[in-house]
Structure 1
Amino acid sequence: MAITYALLAAFLFALSVPLGKLLLGKLAPLELAAFCYLGCALGLFCWRALSGPSAAAERLGRKDIKWVAAFTFFGGVAAPLLLFEGLRLSPSSRVSLMLNSELVFTSLIAVVFFGERGGRRLWMAVALVTAGAFCLGLDDGTPGAGKGLALVALASLSWALDNNFTARVSAKDPLAIAAIKGLVGGIINLVLALAVYGRAAPAAPAILALALGAVSYGASLVFLILSMRELGAARAGAFFGAYPFMGALAGLLFLAEPLSAGLMAAFVFTAAGVALLAGEWHSHRHFHPVLEHEHPHSHDAHHSHHTEANTPAWHRHHHAHGPLSHEHGHIHDEHHLSGH
């Protein structure tokens, strides 16, 4: 079921691009960005009201304000506006594939600015996704399409910054983080839209945009979190990484966008690049030193400190890890950050 949740999350998120393209015929990019993110916040608040507070996640505090401000600006204000401005100018299938650059930008920023480990796979992935982006602009005769794809690349960069800033508070409640980002980002873009366009958005398209945000951003996140609880962040993220290809296929099938040699080449290059990054999951014998920290977790090879039968499957508390040597599949996460 966890794999189904991850793929469903990817599918719902992928729909935001072709359906957003349709709504851009009725709403301006600022308006669409505002209502989609407000819809996301509304959907997440409803889910939290139904599911109750998370016992495993820590609440945001004052020390997190700088990170909240940063990821709200880049992820909640700048990125959706850039995306929909680019989508207005470019076919949705090409926009979807260009969004693969977010994964590469995220990895590059993490390595260059936050000291995370990179390697040959990362640089090969950068080259492949860059080649794919180049192919997207080769045979597209749509006026302004090149500018549109450049704006989508900037949106991907903004979301990559958002991802890295959000990682600084990764132990906090992910639904609360996304709801804050959606609410504040949506309000800011709505105020900007009113100031720029001097009009109220048409009601019917605005309601549809709210629904799109609730489903493609809100429900998608809920399903992704549900899948992470069983698969772990790395494996769930690998399945979720299929969303650009789902979005491109949806644009071809439902919007009757043309399939060209450049688009097919971009598909191959970007798929190879994403596969390289997803393949950072590896297995070898490694050593864990003594470590004390606090984060949400379940009982696995690194968390066997409970013997009580009634301990919740997913919980949070301060705990210690003793020295441990073992072998298993892993990525470079908070338990595997050493240069092994």
Structure 2
Amino acid sequence: MKNTSVIHALLAAALFGASTPFAKLLLGEVSPWLLAGLLYLGSGFGLVLARLLRDRGWKPSGLTTGEWPWLLGAIFFGGVLGPLALMFGLMHTSASTASLLLNLEAVLTAVIAWVVFKENADRRIVLGMLAIVAGGVMLAWPDGQGGATDWLGPLAIVGACLCWAIDNNLTRRVSASDALFIAGTKGAMAGVVNAGLALALGASLPAALVLVGTLSVGLLGYGISLVFFVLALRGLGTARTGAYFSIAPFIGTAVSLALLGESTSVAFWLAAALMGWGVWLHLTEHHEHEHIHEPMEHSHRHVHDAHHRHQHDFDWNGDEAHEHWHRHEALVHKHPHFPDTHHRHKH
């Protein structure tokens, strides 16, 4: 389960990281607000179509009444405010520096997970976060060495990171539900709001070729990336998924340097080394102790393992993953684990 979740997190990071320099290129053709809307429209409509094809028609979301506020809050912060702040920040910051600054999303995600949602924080994770913050400060310092000419661009990007950190923590509350539905709904709603407001304020649609390119970047970098991110949340928890996702800025930076030919400085590479060390600390964490599973009932896709030993009232071949409402009885055991759907206990 952990290895699969890690792969999901890394795929999410790769797709999102590569999208940042392409968004920077598109800013020359599309206004920031409209670009944010079109990126999410590409994500939302593409995933909604994929879900319709997968299920051969419309299928209920499976979300309970109490879960909808979490999803709507995630859409507002992550789908409306976050991308708008990023597009504004990219206008005042180089794409390579912006890509590395996006590491702060993992830091803010973890802080909210620890402080607000009481997720466990090991010393190794905290030290890694401090290294990432130090690199971010070095990049954002407005002396021209890190690529920022003033505070405006870096602060806007940090604001985007905060919005996505809130989004990540809210999305975790519904991560056991259909990932395609969550990501598709977020993209469609955020895209309609952002694009609608931009057009109402006078923005105009770009040429057809640019429009198709923008929607494609949105589908890959925002849509499919978010699907993998939601799947990773189930198995790793919020803070650790954010830690693995921290490789996204390095991928974005590599693409920026190759695609845009941007120059770098000693400060840039020192910041990259600090951030890389922080990510390495996250990736090499090991968490194991005796813990208690309280009785719980929920529905999600699963196989029968140490945490799923229930009986069925329907035919099942005993092997394939399946989804249904099931109950977990109280259980005490010890094994390496992360704060996934079944490990949200106190420490």
**Do the structures match in fold with TM over 0.5?**
yes
1:261 CA drift (Å):
1.1
Separation of aligned partners in 1, 2:339 and 2:233? 16
Counterpart of 2:88 in structure 1 is 85
Separation of aligned partners in 1, 2:258 and 2:120? 39
Counterpart of 2:298 in structure 1 is 294
Structure 1 residues 224 and 299: alpha-carbon distance in aligned structure 2, compared to 1, 3 A threshold: farther
- Give the alignment of 1:219-238 within 5 angstroms: 219-222=224-227, 232-233=235-236
Structure 1 residues 158 and 15: alpha-carbon distance in aligned structure 2, compared to 1, 3 A threshold: same
Among 135, 139, 144, the residue aligned to 2:138 = 135
Counterpart of 1:254 in structure 2 is 259
Separation of aligned partners in 1, 2:70 and 2:236? 21
Asked whether the 8 Å contact 2:10–2:244 carries over to 1, the reply is: yes
Asked whether the 8 Å contact 2:172–2:230 carries over to 1, the reply is: no
Counterpart code for 2:193: I
Q: Secondary structure at the match of 2:111?
A: helix
- Give the alignment of 1:289-328 within 5 angstroms: 289-296=293-300, 297-306=302-311, 308-310=316-318, 312-326=320-334, 328=335
Among 17, 22, 37, the residue aligned to 2:25 = 22
Counterpart code for 2:139: L
Q: Secondary structure at the match of 1:90?
A: coil
Asked whether the 8 Å contact 2:244–2:283 carries over to 1, the reply is: no
1:34 CA drift (Å):
0.5
Identity of aligned residues (%): 37
Among 107, 110, 113, the residue aligned to 2:110 = 107
Structure 1 residues 322 and 198: alpha-carbon distance in aligned structure 2, compared to 1, 3 A threshold: closer
Counterpart of 2:346 in structure 1 is 339
Separation of aligned partners in 1, 2:34 and 2:208? 11
Q: Could you report, residue by residue, the CA deviation over 1:73-119 in whole angstroms, capped at 9, with x for unpaired residues? A: 10110000001111121111111111111111111112222222334
Counterpart of 1:38 in structure 2 is 41
Separation of aligned partners in 2, 1:228 and 1:180? 17
1:183 to 2:188 alignment: yes
1:156 to 2:161 alignment: yes
1:310 CA drift (Å):
4.4
Q: Secondary structure at the match of 2:321?
A: coil
1:192 CA drift (Å):
1.6
Q: Could you report, residue by residue, the CA deviation over 1:213-255 in whole angstroms, capped at 9, with x for unpaired residues? A: 11222233445567889xx446877654422111111111111
Give the aligned CA root-mean-square deviation in angstroms: 3.0
Separation of aligned partners in 2, 1:143 and 1:332? 37
Asked whether the 8 Å contact 1:100–1:274 carries over to 2, the reply is: no
Counterpart code for 1:178: A
Q: State the number of aligned residues.
A: 335
Q: Could you report, residue by residue, the CA deviation over 1:122-174 in whole angstroms, capped at 9, with x for unpaired residues? A: 44234222211111134536674532111111000000001111122222222
Q: What is the TM-score normalised by the length of structure 2?
A: 0.85
Q: Could you report, residue by residue, the CA deviation over 1:35-94 in whole angstroms, capped at 9, with x for unpaired residues? A: 00000012211221232289x996223323322321111011000000111112111111
Counterpart of 1:244 in structure 2 is 249
Among 197, 202, 208, the residue aligned to 2:202 = 197
Separation of aligned partners in 1, 2:19 and 2:127? 29
Separation of aligned partners in 1, 2:252 and 2:54? 29
Which is further off, 150-159 or 137-146? 137-146
Structure 1 residues 4 and 130: alpha-carbon distance in aligned structure 2, compared to 1, 3 A threshold: closer
Separation of aligned partners in 2, 1:203 and 1:58? 33
Separation of aligned partners in 2, 1:225 and 1:290? 24
Separation of aligned partners in 2, 1:143 and 1:240? 24
Structure 1 residues not aligned, in runs of 5+ = none
Asked whether the 8 Å contact 2:307–2:328 carries over to 1, the reply is: no
Q: Secondary structure at the match of 1:117?
A: coil
Q: Secondary structure at the match of 2:298?
A: strand
Q: What is the TM-score normalised by the length of structure 1?
A: 0.87
Separation of aligned partners in 1, 2:345 and 2:41? 40
Separation of aligned partners in 1, 2:48 and 2:39? 14
Asked whether the 8 Å contact 1:58–1:171 carries over to 2, the reply is: no
1:117 to 2:125 alignment: no
Q: Secondary structure at the match of 2:144?
A: coil
